[in-house]
């Protein structure tokens, strides 16, 4: 077996037994990247030289993760390595500081393999909106990998990185994880510091892991979770070990299954595979009940109003003066702003800035933005009602499996529907995890989403772990690169 | 609901964006489609509901008011599209 095929916890076992060295692991991944990158296009920047150099001098006494490689989504600031957000605007931007999550990764003495492709400024659900070109789905190279963290999910699925750090504003970790057959977690809002994550929608953004299995997911969450005084939304909570309760099972656990998430618009095979997994939980002692959560369409509307409003404000900082793209031609300061922004941003980013500016503009603020924030309260209350009764909720992660590249990128509204099952979780700030639970008749992965209570990561991880052990997805199915 | 071309141009101006003449119709139609879909929020009765701004549980996030100078100004300035004497260079704004 090749080293790059192993999970991180398997690599650590081999390192501890002195069967392998960090340099061998890193070289195995670099060779794999060089073999697969031309087909997958998962990376914006590959840090091959630095990675190999660093891997030669790893002190394994520093941490059990010392010498383990990782891939980073290209909207997380890495000192000295460019952070582009897959945008022309930041094509040459080199952050002068590390994001807090990078400080934590570096403190473990881990090895960064490079920066991963995404939809420009994380706006998209297919990675087709990257300035550097679309990433391909390893399971079928004509299909999208999902998005916005498509580079991260594809790289993990294709064994080009053992795991990755990404961001999730409306499903950007979970949805690509589902489409690529890997594990993706969006933690509770406030659990992971966002200092150094390029802001998209600040009341929704959260950093999360994309991994090969649930144990690795818990391990990476252990590394990145925790209070940070540089992020004022960061939660002050005692540190937990998220691997501790993984094997505790689901006996007596109450699972709610919102029927509206299994209705029209959800692919039949997706429904079937998830229902089979829910049956499995029943057999294993969980109490499963159908329930009602009739908010999916409203949540999607609220999401696009609030996310675009916040984005239009956050992206106001790109003015061509302190950093980022500056237009070549301008007569005065106003033209410098306008031309730099108009040339530096791609079409989807501009579309969202325009929507966001519209809903915040005088005359429409009350009808759209203020109304959406009130509906956000309604959605929160609906979730609170359900979580008085249930420990977790189970839904599909994505309404469909991976679709053909080019088929939705020209119709924004259709693209937005890809986020139908995931956005409500961001709106209410709860944790959600996507795990693969089977493939459709064409061999494309299907993702199941488990939603937990606020800071209930331990519970959703344990629910995810059990299904993973029973379904043995990784043993049964492999990407085909066809 | 009908979004007019003039509205798109007004919004673009507020956002410091220039939209090419041939692209205005596409942006107009996209915005209209999305807003039509978004009108579904009006089906929720929100008369007695407060607004939710975010989901952080932190209230009054206070800390000591300490000066903490960023040291690596060279790296900061390297990102500037144009600079002179360690200052950002912009076109003349006063005549």
The DSSP line for A386-409 is: HHHH-SEEEEESSSSS--BTTSST
Give the 3-state secondary structure of B17-82: CCCCHHHHHHHHHHHHHHHHHHHHHHHCCCCCCCCCCCCCCCCCCCCCCCCCCCCCHHHHHHCCCC
| Pairing outcome for strands A254-258 and A287-291 | parallel
Give CA–CA dist A378/A372, Å, rounded.
10
Q: Inform me whether the pLDDT recorded for A7 exceeds 90.
A: yes
Q: Secondary structure of A158-173 in the HEC alphabet?
A: CCCCCEEEEEECCCCC
ipTM of the complex: 0.95
**Cα torsion A227, A216, A393, A125: sign:** positive
How is A353-387 classified by DSSP, letter by letter? HHHHHHHHSTTTIIIIIIHHHHHHHHHHHHHHHHH
pLDDT digits (tens, 9 = 90+) for A379-437: 999 999 999 999 999 999 999 999 999 998 778 888 888 899 999 999 999 999 999 99
Q: Would B9 be classed as within a structural domain?
A: yes
Yes or no: say if A401 and A179 are a contact pair by the CB < 8 Å rule.
Answer: yes
User: Which of A233, A302, A372 minimises the CB distance to B58?
Assistant: A233
- Nearest-CB residue to B57 (from A190, A298, A412): A190
Does the beta-carbon distance from B70 to A330 stay under 8 Å?
A: no
Q: State whether residue B77 sits within 8 Å of chain A by CB.
A: no
DSSP-based three-state secondary structure for A28: helix
In a domain, B18, yes or no: yes
Tell me the mean pLDDT in the region A190-197: 98
Q: In this structure, are residues A324 and B78 in contact, taking their beta carbons and an 8 Å threshold?
A: no
Q: What is the mean pLDDT of residues A69-81?
A: 98
Extents of the domains making up chain A: 3-252+452-476
Interface contact B6, partner A, CB < 8 A:
no
pLDDT tens digit sequence for A292-329: 999 999 999 999 999 999 999 999 999 999 999 999 99
- What is the count of structural domains for chain B? 1
* Interchain contact, A375 vs B57, CB within 8 Å: no
pLDDT of residue A11 exceeding 80: yes
Q: Give every CB contact of residue A315 below 8 A, 6+ residues apart in sequence.
A: A121, A345, A349, A353
Tokens of A346: 């791609």
pLDDT > 90? residue B95 = no
B54 lies in some domain:
no
Tell me, what CATH number does B12's domain have?
Answer: 1.10.20
Give me the pLDDT at residue B59, please: 77
- Express each pLDDT in A347-386 by its tens digit: 999 999 999 999 999 999 999 999 999 999 999 999 999 9
Identified catalytic residue from A55, A130, A172, A340:
A172
pLDDT digits (tens, 9 = 90+) for A122-157: 999 999 999 999 999 999 999 999 999 999 999 999
- B27-76 pLDDT, tens digit per residue, is 999 999 999 999 999 999 999 999 998 887 777 778 889 998 988 999 99
Chain A contact present for B78, CB below 8 A: yes
- Which residue range forms the structural domain that includes residue B36? 5-42
Residue B95 lies in a domain: no
Which of A196-210, A442-456, B80-94 is the least confident region? B80-94
Output the average pLDDT for chain A: 97
Q: What is the mean pLDDT of residues A79-99?
A: 97
**Is B19 contained in some domain?**
yes
* pLDDT computed for residue A334 by the predictor: 96
User: pLDDT tens-digit profile of A239-294?
Assistant: 999 999 999 999 999 999 999 999 988 999 999 999 999 999 999 999 999 999 99
Distance CA A179, CA A139 (A): 9
* CATH code for the domain defined by A3-252+452-476: 3.90.1300.10
**Residues A417, A300: contact at Cβ < 8 Å?**
yes
Written as six digits, the tokens of A459 are 């519970």
Cα first-last separation, chain B? 45
């Amino acid at each position: 077996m090749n080293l790059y095929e192993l999970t991180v916890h398997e690599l650590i076992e081999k390192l501890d037994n002195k069967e392998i060295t960090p340099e061998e692991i890193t070289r195995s991944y670099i060779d794999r990247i060089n073999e697969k990158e031309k087909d997958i296009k998962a990376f914006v920047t590959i840090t091959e030289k630095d990675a190999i150099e660093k891997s030669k001098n790893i002190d394994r006494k520093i941490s059990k993760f010392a010498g383990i490689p990782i891939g980073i989504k290209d909207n997380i600031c890495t000192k000295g390595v460019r952070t582009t957000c897959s945008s022309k605007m930041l094509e040459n931007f080199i952050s002068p500081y590390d994001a807090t999550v990078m400080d934590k990764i570096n403190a473990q003495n881990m090895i960064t393999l490079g920066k991963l492709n995404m939809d420009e400024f994380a706006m998209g659900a297919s990675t087709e909106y990257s300035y550097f070109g679309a990433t391909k789905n390893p399971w079928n190279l004509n299909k999208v990998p999902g998005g916005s963290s498509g580079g991260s999910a594809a790289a993990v699925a294709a064994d080009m990185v053992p795991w990755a750090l990404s961001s999730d504003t409306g499903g950007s970790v979970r949805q690509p994880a589902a489409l690529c057959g890997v594990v993706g977690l969006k933690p509770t809002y406030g659990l992971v510091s966002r200092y150094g994550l390029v802001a998209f929608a600040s009341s929704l953004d959260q950093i999360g892991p994309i991994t090969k299995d649930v144990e690795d997911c818990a391990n990476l969450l252990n590394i990145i979770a925790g209070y940070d005084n540089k992020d004022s939304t960061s939660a002050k909570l005692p540190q937990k070990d998220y691997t501790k309760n993984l094997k505790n099972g689901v006996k007596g656990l109450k699972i709610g299954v919102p029927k509206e998430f299994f209705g029209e618009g959800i692919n039949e095979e997706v429904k079937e595979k998830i229902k089979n997994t829910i049956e499995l939980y029943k057999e294993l002692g969980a109490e499963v009940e159908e329930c009602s959560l009739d908010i999916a369409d409203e949540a999607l509307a609220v999401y696009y109003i609030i996310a675009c409003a916040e984005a239009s404000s956050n992206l106001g900082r790109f003015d061509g003066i302190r950093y980022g793209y500056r237009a070549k031609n301008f007569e005065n300061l106003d033209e410098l702003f306008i031309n730099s922004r108009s040339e530096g941003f791609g079409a989807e980013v501009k579309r969202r800035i325009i929507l966001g500016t519209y809903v915040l503009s005088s005359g429409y603020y009350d009808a759209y933005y203020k109304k959406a924030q009130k509906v956000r309260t309604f959605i929160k209350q609906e979730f609170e009602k359900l979580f008085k009764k249930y420990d977790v909720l189970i839904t599909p992660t994505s309404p469909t499996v991976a679709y053909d590249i080019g088929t939705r990128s020209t119709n924004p509204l259709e693209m937005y529907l890809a986020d139908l099952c995931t956005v409500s979780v961001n709106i209410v700030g709860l944790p959600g995890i996507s795990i693969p639970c089977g493939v459709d008749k064409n061999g494309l992965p299907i993702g199941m989403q488990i939603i937990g209570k606020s800071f209930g990561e331990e519970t959703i991880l344990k629910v995810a772990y059990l299904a993973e052990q029973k379904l043995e997805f990784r043993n049964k199915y492999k990407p085909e690169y066809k | 609901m009908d979004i007019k071309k003039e509205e798109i141009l007004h919004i673009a101006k507020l956002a410091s964006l220039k939209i090419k003449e041939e692209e205005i119709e596409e942006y107009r139609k996209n915005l209209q489609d999305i807003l039509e879909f978004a009108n579904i929020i009006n089906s929720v009765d929100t008369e007695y509901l407060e607004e939710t701004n975010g989901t952080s549980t932190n209230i009054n996030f206070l800390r000591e008011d300490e000066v903490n100078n960023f040291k690596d100004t060279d790296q900061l300035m390297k990102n500037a599209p144009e600079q002179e004497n360690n200052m950002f260079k912009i076109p003349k704004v006063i005549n």
